[in-house]
Amino acid sequence: MIMVDANGTPLAVHTDSASPAEVKLVQDTLAASFGFDFPERLIGDKADDSDGLYADLTEIGIEMIAPHRKNRKRKTQDGRPLRRYKRRWKVERTIAWLQSFRRVRTRDERKAQHFLGFVQLACILILFRQISG
């Protein structure tokens, strides 16, 4: 899972096995930030639509913006905050940048720490490309 700013610059990255739900990984990703403050808003996809996650992020002071799951009984957002969801393409673009690195595209390493190191190295190279212009 990755957290990026408005320009697509990676701010936090967290890797885990494919088993856990994405909702459980959001807190770990926020904790793994590269020394930045928490964002005001967090834009997620339908997998991040959870009452528990909304409550946890509201405690911290973060507004969660995510479309509703199809089977959701109680709607938590109207259409107004979801207008910001249109900016999610910047996250997908950053993921595509990460996929351009062969070692990050598929996880071949046995240890999660080794794979996390390659992902962080790819993030550093993306940052360097953005800084150098």
Cα gap 55→60, rounded to integer Å: 9
What is the tens place of the pLDDT at every residue in 59-110? Answer: 989 888 888 777 776 666 666 667 787 888 988 999 999 999 999 998 888 8
CATH classification of the domain holding 19: 3.30.420
Q: What's the domain range around 103?
A: 2-132
Cα gap 25→130, rounded to integer Å: 27
Report pTM.
Answer: 0.78
Amino acid identity of 22? E
Please give the residue that has the higher pLDDT: either 114 or 69. Answer: 114
What's the structural domain count of the chain?
1
Cβ–Cβ < 8 Å for 115, 107: yes
What pLDDT is attached to residue 76? 64
What is the tens place of the pLDDT at every residue in 33-51? Answer: 767 778 888 888 888 888 8
